[in-house]
A and B are shown apart, each in its own frame.
Chain A
């Protein structure tokens, strides 16, 4: 009984494999898409400030103001371009020639000596919100660090009446773990696995059954003695194997070209990926079983994957979202897969650290699997 079932399953797997390998375009895209997304995401979705041109107009021209400029330059994030006037800095910004402009007023030194604060003006292009906010964060941090030196240098000069400076100050020492330069590549490449295994997987699976239905081969399959679950299992197995090859490709290319290798266990990563793949393939097959035409299936999978991809923390942090959306994100399997994949890649997390996420994915797998089986059984009767 069981062996007969296994034989049938094996035959179906072979059928699916032949079907998949026969279609050149589909095959090319199954391999090509992950590579294209790898390049696009890693380069194009970089939210880190790299070589942003910053026009600096230093009107003070004192050793200290030059030191501020030097401190900004040595962060390595900006290409500093010296400006000659406030108007020139503003014009360069409006023309889009620079990403930001910093203006240091002429009287900084005198104001320091009087124990007053000085104001430096920072102009940023708000149309580029993410980038501007990141640049602001770096500059603010640099200037705040510089404050400490000024405070120390002028500690004696400050009139005691102010009752302020003779006491100590907080010195923040930073240490970045797991990703010393806070590069976004390290964040994007493990996230990319989540993207491919959500978008591509749902889509490929969504088209699979409906396409056979259009071609009429699905009816032929249904009149043979194969069981519903065997048809599903065969499709799942072949697609899962193909996508696992994609997983390996992305990991090798990401490691070779971007130097981002998983720090944790590759076996754990693969195991999680298999579980997650089965979840998304099931979503795709459920869509497929309920669609009459391929375009219907594609539209449905686009609608289904939009929230999965954008509310999951793939690019934008979940913690910044309104509370309701955070709850929604945490209810999605992709959130948990992303957390797991990033934890394994970046922090080298083990099973214990990601156990909670694995449980959620497993629950989804069971629920969707049962739903899919019932759906197929109903399909068959009608």
Chain B
């Protein structure tokens, strides 16, 4: 009972410290908002209104119609026109477009004679993602194109690809990003704040006061982190509510399951932060250790790009990060409505990481200051 009271006392001290610091409050409010706006609105891997270049040496109504039909897909913006092949290449080199279409002089005549009319598509390798997508758009439009608009085929092209895309029919990137933003925000918040709060106190000398209290170090550690848990949970509930209203992304699975997985993730992140704080001797080093772990958590955890595209070795390394499992769980529950049994494996993996780190902390945590 007394331990509980002292834990709460430490927690209330930490709570006051947290809110007194305006920059940290600003960071807690701002950082997730920035992340959400960026990954919800700005970041798009789908191609839309892309810049491109046309060298139309044919200059007939037909060749202009081909360009118009390409623009009509809305994947390509109205193109920049150039008047020579050399200018086309220069234009790509300057980065004016991801692709350039070259229509040769006898294009319309070949079409009218019933021959294949070659058109060259230059792909700008400096922008591979967009170039690849646009090449498909151009080929598809070209395969339907007829020289005479009136004699447009009513039937289908010989082979039509009918796409069925599961779970995310519009292939919207925000369905990929929005559900997992908490993973990134919590990683940054916990590794950063928790680690600094301990190392910072040690540097300022106030940590001695805490250790002088009649408390087990574990109680100090629990007390210190409680305010962050409160902030994290309140924020997360608000976040998913907002995601449903703003982006129309509702949580399909159980909210309780998310809350539980979040608890495991937060504990693991905190344990790692504590472990770092025992290794780092000053805040300077804590900064670098934090960055070193935040970076892989965003890049290889599967938040930005699915882990399945990564080489084996990196996939295995990613399994050691709690963020990888948390991202998997969030995506599964929110997007696919997964049940407890579906996410048991990542949950177990996360718990295993927690156990290993806690063992490490217990072995390394300094009870005494002279260590």
Contact = CB atoms under 8 A, between A and B. Distances in A.
Contacts of A115: 155
Interface stretch (B229-237, B304-312, B359-367): B304-312
Contacts of A182: 123, 125, 128, 131-132
A173 to B, nearest CB: 5
A29 B23 CA distance: 26
A47 B129 CA distance: 7
Contact of B92 (A173, A177, A311): A177
A310 B166 CA distance: 27
B51 A319 contact: yes
Which residue of B35, B296, B309 has the most chain A CB atoms within 10 A of its CB atom?
Answer: B309
Interface stretch (A6-14, A126-134, A238-246, A265-273): A126-134
Contacts of B72: none
Given A169-B143, A299-B27, A129 B173 contact: yes
A43 B287 CA distance: 25
A163 B151 contact: yes
B89 interface: yes
A245 B323 CA distance: 31
A145 B139 contact: yes
Interface residues of B, number: 124
A339 B51 CA distance: 15
Interface residues of A, number: 121
A23 B318 CA distance: 29
A26 B284 contact: yes
Contacts of B138: 172
Nearest to A300: B23
B135 A141 contact: yes
Interface string A31-60: 011001101110111111110000000000
A315 B299 CA distance: 11
B162 A119 contact: yes
A45 B296 CA distance: 11
A145 B136 CA distance: 10
A248 interface: no
A373 interface: no
Nearest to B28: A299
Given A23-B285, A117-B159, 12 more contacts: A124-B163, A129-B46, A150-B159, A168-B115, A169-B116, A182-B128, A296-B21, A302-B192, A303-B26, A303-B30, A310-B43, A315-B305
Interface of B: 21, 23-24, 26-27, 30-31, 34-35, 38-39, 41-51, 66, 77, 89, 92-95, 98, 110-133, 135-140, 142-143, 145-148, 151, 153, 155-169, 171-173, 175-176, 188, 192-193, 196-197, 200, 203, 280, 282-292, 294-296, 299-300, 304-306, 308-311, 314, 318, 331, 335-336
5 contacts: A44-B305, A137-B136, A171-B118, A177-B89, A321-B44
